[in-house]
Amino acid sequence: MNPSSRSAFLTVIISAAAFAVAVLGLLIGAKPMTLAEALAALASPNRGTDGIIVWTLRMPRSIAAFLAGGALAVSGFLLQSITRNPLAAPDLTGVSSGAVAAIVSTFVFLPTISSFYYPAIGMAGGLAGASMTIWVARGGRASTLHTALGGITVALFLNAISSYVLLRGGPQSPSVLFWLSGGFQGRSWPQIMYMLPWIISGLAVALASHRVIGVLALGDEVAAGMGVNLSAWKPLLLLAAIGLVAGVTPVAGPVAFIGLAAPHLVRLLRPKDSVWSLMLNIAIGGGLLLTADVLARSVAAPREIPVSIFTALIGGPIFIYLAQRRETSMSRGALA
């Protein structure tokens, strides 16, 4: 099997697995359904209570989770490609925390502003958070681990700002706290339409830039030698990565570790090129977050567990492994 066929086969298999999880999600909830009942409700949206549950609650929720997971995975892939840092991810570079801090501050201090503008506000906050991390990392010239620690420090600082704003927020804070826990409870078709333009725009930029992304993997000096305008392409890809997070965050809240874990799982599969890397990131990231969402609403049913708990269980060990491996390789280099 040639590399293209192999990459296509893996994408189809992983997407099919994600679809199977989505079907399972239709069966699980406060009102359990059999597969036959769920399929009948899918075929007849007006089929009483089952039709309402499937079409209004469970199916759009699963679609939102898959889209959000795919967007976060691609965002992490872009950030890692731009910085050539395997520890880069939206939640570890200040991007997610910056978006959250900006949205929370707007919600509390400027409540008259429509939520329609929250993605743009989140994008501005994410860009500010990423800029702070780049500054801490000496313009990207610091070591990989130093950059990761700088990003975590910036994220903690921005999270502290969000917490302070919430303390000042008064009675409206509980609704924000629910959103900050991360998850897709109550999400329906309007939320999908809300984040879809941002996700489509970010993915379009990433796919259109696939050749540049592939060249960036060879290093900045090689890319510049091949005629890539780094001062133009890197900011564009950074904006695409932040835009994907900005579109997802107002709907899903802060979701950790998908943007870190998915790109590394994709690399283990050795896709043919950056186009298939992007497709596999969408499939794996969407499948991971979809699985986490199904677990979040089934493990302690009828109560829900924040989805970030399950994504952290996936991504946390990967981060620890990568950090230790990087530290070990640095130590060996020093000894050599």
Q: 279-302 as b/e, with b when 16 or more CB fall inside 10 Å?
A: bbbbbbbbbbbbbbbbbbbbeeee
Q: What is the pLDDT of residue 62?
A: 94
| Helix, strand and coil in the chain, % to nearest 5 | 80, 0, 20
Q: What is the pLDDT of residue 140?
A: 54
Nearest to 252 by CA among 156, 169, 178, 159: 178
Q: What is the pLDDT of residue 186?
A: 82
3-state class (DSSP) for residue 188:
coil
Q: What is the pLDDT of residue 29?
A: 80
Q: Cα–Cα distance between 283 and 71 in angstroms, integer?
A: 10
Alpha helices in 170-306 (DSSP H): 173-180, 189-208, 210-216, 220-225, 230-252, 258-269, 274-298
The tokens 């050795």 sit on which residue? 270
Architecture of domain 3-324: Orthogonal Bundle (1.10)
Q: 40-64 as b/e, with b when 16 or more CB fall inside 10 Å?
A: ebbeeeebeebbebbbebbbbbbbb
Chunk the chain into consecutive blocks of 10 residues (it has 336) and report each block's average pLDDT, rounded to whole numbers: 89 96 89 89 83 90 95 95 85 90 91 90 93 76 70 90 83 72 86 93 95 88 88 92 94 90 90 93 95 88 83 78 59 41
Count of CB atoms situated within 10 Å of the CB of 104: 24
How far apart, in Å, are the Cα atoms of 41 and each of 28, 55, 58, 209? 14, 8, 11, 41
Instruction: DSSP for 309-331, please give it.
Output: HHHHHHHHHHHHHHHHHHHHHHH
Q: What is the pLDDT of residue 222?
A: 87
